[in-house]
Amino acid sequence: MKKLLIIDDEQDYLNSLAVSLRKKFEISLATNYSSALEELQKGVDIALIDVRLNRTDDNNIDGLKILEWIKMNKPEISAFIMSGYREFSYAEQALNLGAKHFFKKPLDIFSLIAVLQEKG
């Protein structure tokens, strides 16, 4: 079973995704840049990253910065971006940085699972 790291600052959303995906993936969760890096260094196969993380994060680093870190330090990890923001620039930036797919929130769980299994 592949290891999936879900990174989002909304705890309820994280928990609901974890419940929906736990039958298909081994799940770990992170709510900010620091905890995401800890989990990434432990080893994961797939990262599902929210574009915008909480501004109160000490490093104030968003999901695109985590994506950059993955591409520079752990390129073997399949990275996917999700966002509730409708601006196309986030999707364009994410894909240019090497994300395998951009998901718009709210996520369709069945489509999410299919894409993660196919491209992850």
Q: Which range marks the domain in which residue 63 is found?
A: 3-119
Both tokens assigned to 67: 């994506």
Rg from Cα positions in the chain: 13
Token pair, residue 59, equals 């490093």
Number of folded domains in the chain? 1
Q: What CATH number is attached to the domain comprising 100?
A: 3.40.50.2300
The reported pLDDT for the residue numbered 119 is: 95
Q: pLDDT per residue over 50-83, tens digit each?
A: 988 876 655 445 899 999 999 999 999 999 999 8
Provide the pLDDT confidence category of residue 110 given band limits of 50, 70 and 90: very high
**Residues 100, 60: Cα–Cα separation, whole Å:** 24
As given in the structure block, the two tokens for residue 109 are 């769980």
Q: Residue 92 burial (CB < 10 Å; 0-12/13-18/19+)?
A: exposed
| More confident call, 51 vs 113 | 113
